[in-house]
Amino acid sequence: MTTLLEARHVTKLFSSGLLDRHATVALEDFSLAIDSERPSITAVVGESGSGKTTLARLLLGLVVPTRGEALYQGQDLQRMSHTVWRAFRRDVQVIF
């Protein structure tokens, strides 16, 4: 299986400031792999506040995970070259 988009054990914590010791866990140890060989539509459902939007933003490279990694064709979204980033933006789209 060739993976198009993958989240590996991603966790995202949000805090209200530098001295805030009580971070809010938006997403914890979540993994997902989307196969590039077979096109698919993936729906993420859950209660309000369950981390759906945070997951989408992580997979789009708009938010950096606190732990874990988000990958496009095996490359970390945070370390992609400009050329690969442009291809990523063409291939991966989200509908909120």
Q: Which residues contact 5 (CB under 8 A, 6 or more apart)?
A: 32, 33, 34, 59, 70, 71, 72, 92
Residues 2-42: tens digit of each pLDDT: 888 899 999 999 987 777 678 889 999 999 998 888 877 88
Tell me the CATH architecture of domain 3-91.
3-Layer(aba) Sandwich (3.40)
- Segments making up each domain of the chain, as ranges: 3-91
Q: Which is it for strands 3-14 and 67-72: parallel, antiparallel or unpaired? A: antiparallel
Amino acid at 96: F
The residue type found at 19 is L
State the pLDDT at residue 21.
75
What pLDDT is stored for residue 47 in this prediction?
Answer: 94
Provide the CA 18 distance to its chain's centre, in angstroms: 24
Convert the pLDDT of each residue in 63-90 to its tens digit: 999 999 999 989 999 999 999 888 888 8
